[in-house]
Amino acid sequence: MFSKFVADNECCAYEKREAFADIIRLGIKGVEDRIKKSRSKLLKTLTKDILIASGSIYLATNNTMFDPTLASYVAVGGGLEVAKDIIANAKLAINLESLVKDDQFYFLWKLKKDVPSV
């Protein structure tokens, strides 16, 4: 699309620069949007996991139907499994850039992020 536009001899240099800038802006915005959506999804998942872990630990430790020792083992086992998921999601939330590293506009997004005047 852009290469055909650039090859057109009737198009002036200003229009080519503007079209190129529009394509780059859209690409950078796409990277930003993907990161924002991923961050939101991860935070929702983390919140859900924390609530489930807290609820299951509470139920296991405060339930009078089970032997307290068995309830403790269930709480620890379930808590460790959920804690593993929480830690994995937290690590991913900290480094969301890894989700967009393969994007063709990643370098430009990173440059814009590191140099605010760009």
DSSP calls for 63-109: -SSS-HHHHHHHHHHHHHHHHHHHHHHHHHHHTGGGGTTTSTTHHHH
For the beta carbon of residue 6, count every other beta carbon within 10 angstroms.
12
The pTM of the whole model exceeds 0.85: no
Tokens of 42: 């991860």
| Domain spans, the chain | 14-114
Can you give the length of the chain in residues? 118
Q: What is the mean pLDDT of the chain?
A: 76
Residues 96-105 have pLDDT tens digits of 777 788 888 8
How does residue 70 score in pLDDT terms, banded at 50, 70 and 90?
Answer: low
For residue 4, the model assigns a pLDDT of: 56
